[in-house]
Structures are given as C-alpha cells and as structure tokens.
Amino acid sequence: MSRMRFVIITFLLAVCTAPDVASADQAEAWAALREGRHVALMRHADAPGGAGDPPGFRIDDCATQRNLSSKGRADAARIGARLRSEGIAVEKILSSPWCRCMDTATLLALGPIEVEPTFGNVVVLSDQTAALTAGGRAIIDKWTGSGILLVVTHGANIRALTGISPASGEIVVVRGGSGGGKPVGRLTFD
C-alpha cells in the first residue's frame, strides 16, 4: 500500500470512529461516577476573558476577577441538575478560591463547598505550579470515600494533573485512592 493511501485510510478511520471514542469515553465516565470512589475534576463554567485574571485582581474581590458569564451561570446550574438526575452521589465538594470556581460549585447545587487553596489557579500562581499540582495529586490519592469527590478548579490545573485540557464546564473523571489520578473518562455537557 502506498504511503499516501495509508495516510488517507488512517485519517478516515480516525474521523469515522471519533464519535464512538467520545461516547465510550462519556459512558466510562458516567459508569465511574455511578460506582463512586472516583474524583471528578471540573473546569469552572464559561468565564470570558482569556487565561488568568486582569492585572491587579484580588482573590478576596470578585469584581476584580474574571467571572462567569450568564451562559456559564446557566451551564453550571444545568450540569448540577444533570448530575442529580443521574443519581451521582457527590460526597464532598472542593473548590479553588477563585470566584468563578466558587460560583460554579455553588450553582451546581450539590452540597456544601470547601475552599481548597491547592486548586488555586496555576496560571496566576505559576511560581507555585509544582507545589499546587503535588497538593492536588495528594488529595486525589487520599480519596477513599464511597461517593464522588468533586473538585471545581481551572483548566490549567486539570491539565497539570491529567494531561487533559478540558473545555469550560467539562469534567475529567479520575480514579481516587492509591494509584489515583488516572483519567477514566470525560464528560461534556453541550
């Protein structure tokens, strides 16, 4: 077989099977969430304005940060409703202290939220990336709850923990406990 024909066939196979891979990935993620004992790493919902925050932002003043858009607010409420309708047992919720993460976690309406600084924005806190990522891995590795640990954080944090760059509002499901952190599947809600 010619090299060009091989490349074309490989490309067509990838394009034709991509939806099947995506739906298998989603099915595995839902199954893991129903099983419990996993960690759901959620990127905050839509917050326009690029990466990071405006110059001079303050963690204690939401008016100085990037915040959720009206779409982001609606999406967070819709994602929470979907998780409830699927019967997902969220045992604990941790959030980055950034307002867009706290607001996403609140709008999910899945339970009380604890601020966890180790899930703070690694783009803004770039000098602390290694320590924050190690702290996040330690929390995932220690998760042995019977339900789900839901972590609302930033895309760059999830990428540092899993190698996956999630879309706004996307959830990457990983194994908890020893040997944890291995991605199981991804959930998109568009």
11-21 pLDDT tens trace: 434 444 444 44
DSSP per-residue letters across 72-83: HHHHHHHHHHHH
Look at residue 25 in the predicted model and tell me its pLDDT: 83
Look at residue 7 in the predicted model and tell me its pLDDT: 40
Residue 130 has pLDDT above 90, yes or no: yes
Reduced to 3 states, what is the DSSP secondary structure of residue 145?
coil
| CA atoms of 174 and 165, how far apart (whole Å) | 14
Backbone angles phi, psi at 151, to 5 degrees: -115, 120
**Is the CB of residue 119 less than 8 Å from the CB of residue 157?**
yes
| CA atoms of 26 and 88, how far apart (whole Å) | 14
Reduced to 3 states, what is the DSSP secondary structure of residue 115?
strand
Average pLDDT of the segment spanning 148-177 = 95
pLDDT digits (tens, 9 = 90+) for 1-42: 554 444 444 443 444 444 444 566 899 999 999 999 999 999
Average pLDDT of the segment spanning 172-181 = 84
- Residue 58's beta-bridge partner residues? 61
Percent of the chain with pLDDT over 90: 75
The angle that helices 99-108 and 70-85 make with each other, rounded to 10 degrees, is: 40
Percent of the chain with pLDDT over 70: 86
Look at residue 23 in the predicted model and tell me its pLDDT: 61
Residue 179 has pLDDT above 70, yes or no: no
Q: 0.85 cut: is pTM over it?
A: yes
Q: Is the Cα dihedral 87, 25, 93, 96 positive or negative?
A: negative
Name which of 23-37, 59-73, 77-91, 157-171 the model is least confident about: 23-37
**Is the CB of residue 93 less than 8 Å from the CB of residue 101?**
no
